[in-house]
Amino acid sequence: MLASAVRDCAGAGWDIYELDLPEFDMTDSSRVDEVLELIGPEVIVNCAAYTNVDAAETDESLAMRVNGDGPANLAHAAKRLGATLVHISTDYVFDGLKTVPYLEEDPVAPQSVYGRTKLAGERAILESGLEKFFILRTSWLYGPGGKNFVEVIIRLATEREELRIIADQIGSPTYTVDLAEAIFNLLTTAPRAASPPHGIYHFSNEGQCSWYEFAEEIVSLAKEQGAQLKVQKILSIKTEEYPLPAQRPTYSVFSKAKYKAAAGATIPEWRESLQRYFSARA
């Protein structure tokens, strides 16, 4: 989902090499070294992750290999090749107990296997000795080409008369196209800076909402596009009414001040980006 957006957002000055399973397995360090040595990239963008949050609770070994060992292998290869590594991380590295936007330097305290394995990937990069890297933490990602909350809500709205959506988890949706553009903004800004702004950044669309408010907006836009929906009611519920194996952050809104200062860029508000997504899928 994100990799396709990165590919599509790349300008004319970029030569993109797309690597995927089964030919390229980033958990296989020898294969990583072999393939990347052959390509000799200047930039490595890691869009791969084990993202099934609930399945990770019972499949920690695989989640750790993908989310922890994989980034470590890429970081060591990037260091050896003199390449810049861009790695995507998550709001799940935090405990979700804050009530004001999270800063990059806030203490991490993941509450799920997924969060712990993603944090392991961050730490592997930080401990690798690699100097040229960007770790972008993001949240509530959606976009073309993959399973996401927007498409799930549209599908359910065509099948059911009533939807029950969690209203006490607050975050910021992120459109893959906006995140891809943010990646290129950082990559093109860093070489021009007197002190290249490598490090950890937070990125999501501006504003915040609950999953319930997000669902309401999705259904509203689908109706505007003329979708034949069955749904009549969207009910707000509490997290405890919809128990899942993995604990979710109650609050995961990011401060994007660091990104905006480094990239010199503005960030679209989440409703605006959602409208753009609907226009693109029409």
Q: What percent of the chain has pLDDT over 90?
A: 93
pLDDT at 196 > cutoff 80: no
pLDDT at 190 > cutoff 70: no
Quote the pLDDT of residue 11: 86
pLDDT at 162 > cutoff 60: yes
Tokens 């990559």 appear where? 187
The pLDDT confidence band at residue 194, using thresholds 50, 70 and 90, is: low
User: What is the per-residue pLDDT across 2-42, written as a single tens digit (0 to 9) for each?
Assistant: 999 999 999 888 999 999 999 999 999 999 999 999 999 99
pLDDT at 192 > cutoff 70: no
Quote the pLDDT of residue 193: 59
The pLDDT confidence band at residue 146, using thresholds 50, 70 and 90, is: confident
Quote the pLDDT of residue 231: 97
Cα angle value 58/60/66 (rounded, 5°):
135
Instruction: Please pick, among 102, 114, 142, 277, the residue that the annotation labels catalytic.
Output: 114
Quote the pLDDT of residue 119: 98
Quote the pLDDT of residue 195: 60
DSSP assignment of 89-126 equals EEGGGS-S--SSPBPTTSPP---SHHHHHHHHHHHHHH
Please name the residues in contact with 217: beta carbons below 8 A apart, sequence gap of 6 or more.
209, 271, 274
Structural domains of the chain, ranges and CATH numbers in brackets: 2-281 (3.40.50.720)
Q: What percent of the chain has pLDDT over 70?
A: 98
Quote the pLDDT of residue 39: 96
Quote the pLDDT of residue 136: 98
Q: From residue 243, give the alpha-carbon distance in Å to each of 131, 193, 238, 247, 248.
A: 41, 47, 9, 9, 10
pLDDT at 132 > cutoff 80: yes
Asked about 242 being catalytic, the answer comes back as no
Cα torsion angle, 109, 195, 15, 128, sign: negative
Q: Max alpha carbon distance in the chain (Å)?
A: 57
Give the Cα separation of 262 and 270 in Å (integer).
Answer: 21
Quote the pLDDT of residue 282: 75
Of 250, 264, 248, 252, the closest CA to residue 205 belongs to 252
User: What is the per-residue pLDDT across 40-98, written as a single tens digit (0 to 9) for each?
Assistant: 999 999 999 999 999 999 999 999 999 999 999 999 999 999 999 999 999 999 999 99
For the segment 138-143, the average pLDDT, to the nearest whole number, is 98
**Residue-averaged pLDDT of the chain:** 95
